[in-house]
Chains A and B, each alone.
Chain A
């Protein structure tokens, strides 16, 4: 084979490999497939590495007032339309109650006024969406650790699960409600707050009113909006499709610190 022949064959071979390579790899998207599971296991490595290096307690960077140059871009659900939610909104959230239950000693039912009466934390942080964009805003709320202390987590509790009012997807079986979960290290992290205020005003509906989660060392989809219930649990199998969050059920990483 002369050099030109070699070149032509090489280029042809490489391009066929390249193109079909992609299609062959489409099987990766099957979340229960062995290939997907093997590749996704790298995320467990990222989770452990970040917990090891950060010790779980490092703080996300906080920004200055001058860094707030725009409103917080809303994403995902922006306007829940369930009857219960609409009624609460119409009543100015007076009837809203946050339930804290599951593996706790003292289940709680807290009004917005109860939450506002607790010590608050205000932080200017960067919100990183899994899509790739970032947006800086100021968040005010009650540290989740204080709410959990009121309820008294049991020793068996390993995760905090957040249940939300918003229907994120219509399926044949009906509306799928958004839910998320974090481990107890993030649940007790000082910057993890249940926010009721944003950029100096009440939290708008588009951004999760009346109450949303902020988990500043993870991506945006972890920060559930429209939260009505927090459940402490020993494992995540009993929720949704068992991966611990609406997006994790759809192939996204449960740990979103990367």
Chain B
């Protein structure tokens, strides 16, 4: 049963949310463009050319009827022609449909990536300050003991796509959002900085933390994949939970809660 509208998102949170959406879009697509310049990920301080420390490689080689794309992970290979390595006329790791710019230009991908890296970091700092002041971080994202006790029933509810629309986030939601904000994004920034030779000079501990520049590059890639999974699940949950209500909330701040959730304490 539909209840009344509550004001759930402050203007700061909404602005930050949309800035991130823009940043992540550009960072992802320009990042895939950067990856295409050398589509191999390694573990360690350097890239093995005379020895093998590759974890993942996306490549192409000649076949009987033109080039074939492949993905190799720890020595195991799969043919990915049409998707990765080779797609249509294009012989590059990630196809033009998912890179910025849509043709190969490492220089352009890099300036786009670093521009939005700055915007992302700036937005994160403003969001942190605003969220600490308003209590949003403590109230809405901090995972409590009570939250964890509610976890099994919350998982069961999600599995049945049964959502309770309250003023607050449920536990899985909290875990997902906190994981992105306090784990994934800081990891992206830290591994991104580790790849910078200038940053390594003033913060060499980054190299120790991530076990070398090439491992940092690999972690950067893996967390990117995790963020893509988060995004897809985020979209699915919004569709399942009622897209119009969710959209109104993140655009205007107003969210319609279930009737039985109206009396929920602040």
**Chains A and B come from one and the same complex:** yes
Total A-B contacts with CB atoms under 8 angstroms apart: 154
Q: Given A25-B100, A128-B213, A131-B37, does the pair A36, B111 have CB atoms closer than 8 Å?
A: yes
Residue of A23, A54, A59, A134 touching B47 (CB-CB under 8 A)? A134
B115 contacts A69, C-beta separation under 8 Å: no
Contact call A69/B46, Cβ cutoff below 8 A: yes
CB-CB < 8 A to A43: which residues of B?
Answer: 111, 114
Residues on A with beta carbons closer than 8 Å to the beta carbon of B244: 6
What is the bound-complex CA distance between A63 and B208, given in angstroms?
12
Instruction: Fill in one digit per residue for B177-203: 1 if any A CB lies within 8 Å of its CB, else 0.
Output: 000000000000000000111111110
Q: Please provide the chain B residues from 76 to 120 with a CB less than 8 Å away from any CB of chain A in the complex.
A: 96-103, 105-108, 110-112, 114-115, 117-118
Q: Within 8 Å of chain A (Cβ to Cβ): is B152?
A: no
B57 CB to closest chain A CB (Å) equals 12
1/0 per residue B115-135: CB within 8 Å of A?
Answer: 101100000000000000000
Interface size on A, residues (CB 8 A): 55
What are the residues of chain A within 8 A of B214 when measuring CB–CB?
Answer: 133-134
B243 close to A10 (CB less than 8 A): yes
Contact (Cβ within 8 A) B202 A45: no
B60 within 8 A of A: no
Given the known inter-chain contacts A134-B45, A250-B107, A251-B108, please indicate yes or no for A39 contacting B201, CB distance below 8 A: no
Q: Are B115 and A63 in contact (CB under 8 A)?
A: no
Contact A53 B202 (CB under 8 A): yes
| Interface check B50, CB cutoff 8 A | yes
- Picked from B46, B107, B243, the residue with its CB within 8 Å of the CB of A135 is B46
Measured between alpha carbons, how far is A18 from B228 in the docked complex, in Å?
14
Measured between alpha carbons, how far is A203 from B237 in the docked complex, in Å?
59
Number of B interface residues at 8 Å Cβ cutoff, please give it.
Answer: 50
Chain A residue numbers with a CB within 8 Å of B114 are 42-43, 46, 253, 258
Q: When the two chains form their complex, are residues A50 and B243 in contact, meaning their CB atoms are under 8 A apart?
A: no
A182-218 interface bits toward B, Cβ cutoff 8 Å, 1 = contact, 0 = none: 0000000000000000000000000000000000111
CB under 8 Å from chain B, chain A span 33-87: 36, 39-43, 45-46, 50, 53-54, 58-61, 63, 67, 69-71, 73
Bound-state Cα–Cα, A128 to B47, Å: 10
Q: Is A88 an interface residue (CB 8 A)?
A: no
Q: Main SS of chain B's interface residues?
A: helix
B111 — which chain A residues lie within 8 A by C-beta? 28, 36, 39-40, 42-43, 251, 253
Most chain A beta carbons < 10 A, residue from B37, B51, B101, B108: B108
**Does B49 lie within 8 Å of A135, measured CB to CB?**
yes
A6-B243, A126-B45, A251-B107 given as contacts; is B34 within 8 A of A132 (CB)? yes
Decide if A257 is an interface residue (CB 8 Å cutoff).
yes
Residue pair B197, A216 in contact (C-beta under 8 Å): yes
Interchain Cβ contacts under 8 Å between A and B, 26 examples? A6-B244, A22-B97, A26-B103, A28-B101, A28-B108, A29-B107, A29-B108, A40-B115, A43-B114, A45-B118, A50-B198, A61-B201, A69-B50, A69-B51, A126-B46, A128-B213, A130-B106, A132-B37, A132-B217, A133-B46, A217-B201, A247-B107, A253-B110, A253-B111, A253-B114, A258-B197
